[in-house]
Amino acid sequence: MRDFFKVFKWISKIGVRYAIFLTVILTVYVTLIIVDSRIVDTMVEKETTSRSDYVSIKAEHIIVSYLQTCIEALNMTTNGIEKMMSEDAGSMAIKDYLTLQTENYAEVIDENYTGIYGLIQGRFVDGSGWVPDKTYRPKSRPWYVDAVEANGEIALVDPYMDLQTKKVTMSMSKLLSDGYSVAAIDLSLGRVQEICEEIGKEFDDTEVMLISSDGTIVAHSTHSRTLGNIFGKTEMLHAYNVEDLKNIDRHNVTVRYKGKRYSVYFHEIYDDWYIMTSICIDAMDKRKSSSFAIHTIAILLLIGGMVGLFCHIGKRRYEASKNFSQMYSISGIYSTMDLINLEEDTFQMVRCDGKELRNSQEGMTVGAHRIMRETMWACTAEASQNKIFTFIDLESLDDRMSDTDTISIEYLDNNNKWCRGRFTVVERKKNGKLRSVLWMIEPIDKEKREREHLEWLSETDRLTGIMNRGGGEERIRQIIENGGVGMLAIMDADKFKSINDTFGHQVGDAVIIAIANCLKKSFRDVDIVMRLGGDEFAVFVSDMNDKVVANQIIDRFIDRVHDITIPQITDRKIEVSIGAAFMNQTDIKDFETLYKKADSGVYRSKKVQGSYVTFVD
């Protein structure tokens, strides 16, 4: 108390003028703290928004990438079924195809994958070998009903809890072009649940969930809430539904749940599936109030330390702004992010993980096009440099992005890893011209190679390692459509059925593999060598129109076939009947005609004893 009165005594000694000066200083400080409080309010709002954006973008990227593998598998399988149906393949052939595809994709899809099945031309077939009982009605199942409603698009069937595995399971299905056949894949969503839980652990007071259009919680950062309904009376959004949230500006709404306020963000990611994040506003307000109290106490204690307080406020604002920028701009997906101002021709590095890139951009801000070329020259494989230089041409960027906000390119970096470069619009002028863009680089090597492996599996014959019928025919059709010419030869092993009947299928498989090896050794890598099925093979030799040369190559193949040695087969020689026809774009203009001519040659060769080739004009 004595100290308190000493202060008043000291003020009376220094005079009213100085007392007014100190009062003004105090008023300025109080004003600053009020302003700072509002800044904190703004930062809380921005932090809430940026946190939701970060969570939504990250969840969308991981979940969509996870589901895309199965979607691509289903698309490739339905394309194969469509082709077989167009060729009037029987139901057993289609069933064998689904069994083969199920085995193929089991290598690239995780343990949650249960195989490919469907109702094809009125008959239920299952690639995993499951046989339903007589009460099973495929057309009443959700996977069939939803696929018909989707009318040729991939249908994501609402998930359900599998009573046997205790896992949340979903189906993906697609209607075929005949209007009633449907193919489908079942997939456990255990990994999606793990993704939500992993993302939810990154922030306190934040929940992340994946929901379907009817409000069913597919996955939730809190495991016990899976398969509830977010719009039910016991949940926080019981007064809303999906359509309500779609119409809300920025897809966010503030709700009160169990005495606390939450900011809920709503973002569609795929086919009426949504990422929803909820952030506890009260918890963030508590931190804001603590910050405000600390500032107030600091002002009262350090009223004479104006410089120190200004430094403190400046530092806090800088750190808050920096944290916001990093959270908002860096989603964790891109390894490099640069802001390019096309109007001022300036280049600003926002984020860069690679040391080589950082060094190449160090200290450079003006001359964006030159910086881009020098930077990408340093980090791009030679094979990709021409196309990447064309893509990053800033002079043509306005025209290329006149009707889109993002464009991308896939290329190899200097470590032969696949990357995706992307331009995204940040700001346009009033006339629609670009003012500034973001240049971002995303590593996609694993995703790219998995996609290529899926394509390889879909085109490769599992027994022989050469191309299967679907993959080989598609490539030949492309060559013909592009005006290409060449020779198609069809080979058929003579009396192969007797080999299978006499020595067994294992020996028969050995013969098939040996003939395929002879084909690979006899023809070039650029030639299309494929197994048509059973003991039938075919090869397309591009740019071959000389019958004499073609006959020499086929004779070389026949000699190799005659040299085949199978230990179990000692009383006979492997013989092949061959038919060949030339594609010349004049008399023969399509694959079907070419195939029929070559196939008729096989029929003629069968009438000749031993290996023989018939050229059909």
Res 313: pLDDT = 45
Query: Tens digit of pLDDT for each residue in 414-442?
Result: 888 888 999 999 899 989 899 999 888 88
> How would residue 332 be classed by pLDDT, with cut points 50, 70 and 90?
low
pLDDT digits (tens, 9 = 90+) for 210-240: 777 777 777 787 766 665 666 665 566 766 6
pLDDT-based confidence at 70, cuts 50/70/90?
Answer: confident
Please tell me which residue, 84 or 254, carries the higher pLDDT value: 84
Evaluate if residue 10 carries a pLDDT over 60.
no
Return the exposure string of 254-283: e unless at least 16 CB atoms fall within 10 Å of the residue's CB, then b: ebeeeeeebbbbbbebbeebbbbbbbbbee
pLDDT at residue 322 tops 60: no
**Structure tokens given for 418:** 């696949």
CA distance 353 to 443: 11
CB 489 within 8 A of CB 523: no
Which residue, among 460, 462, 465, 522, has the nearest Cα to 491 in the 3D structure?
522
Ranges 24-28, 177-181, 404-408, 555-559: which has the least confidence: 24-28
Choose among 542, 521, 517, 539: nearest CA to 529.
Answer: 539
CATH of domain 89-188: 3.30.450.20
d(Cα 65, Cα 59) in Å, to the nearest integer? 10
Compute the average pLDDT of residues 107-124: 79
Instruction: Answer yes or no: same fold for 89-188 and 336-447.
Output: yes
Q: Considering the chain, what is the average pLDDT of its residues?
A: 79
Contact assessment for residue 602 and residue 575, using Cβ atoms and an 8 Å cutoff: no
Sheet holding 182-188, edge to edge: 123-126, 113-120, 182-188, 168-175, 155-161
Per-residue pLDDT, 193: 78
The contacts of residue 525 (CB under 8 Å, 6+ apart) are none
pLDDT of 206 reads 79
Of the listed ranges 78-82, 164-168, 270-274, 278-282, the least confidently predicted one is 164-168
- Count of residues for the chain? 617
Angstrom distance (rounded) from CA 49 to CA 264: 10
Mean pLDDT of 508-513: 91
pLDDT tens for each residue of 33-65: 666 566 656 665 666 667 667 777 777 777 777
* Selection from 466, 82, 469 nearest residue 477 by Cα: 469
Query: Where is pLDDT greater, at 525 or 323?
Result: 525
Given this model, what pLDDT does residue 614 score? 94
pLDDT at 527 over 90: yes
What is the per-residue pLDDT across 391-415, written as a single tens digit (0 to 9) for each? 999 999 999 999 999 999 999 888 8
Superfamily of chain region 336-447: PAS domain (3.30.450.20)
Q: What are the boundaries of each domain within the chain? A: 2-42+301-328, 89-188, 336-447, 460-616
Whether the Cβ atoms of residue 437 and residue 392 lie closer than 8 Å to each other = no
Average confidence (pLDDT) over 202-208: 76
Q: What angle do CA 12, 15, 16 make, to 5 degrees?
A: 100
pLDDT score of 428: 92
Q: What is the mean pLDDT of residues 181-195?
A: 82
Angle CA 95–147–155, to nearest 5: 105
| Chain centroid, CA 540 distance in Å | 34
Question: Phi then psi for 495, rounded to 5 degrees?
Answer: 50, 40
Query: CATH number for the 460-616 domain, one of 3.30.70.270, 3.40.50.720, 3.40.50.170, 3.40.50.150?
Result: 3.30.70.270
Helices (H), 362-406: 368-379, 382-391, 397-400
Exposure class string for 169-184: b at 16+ Cβ within 10 A, else e: bbbbbbbbeeeebbbb
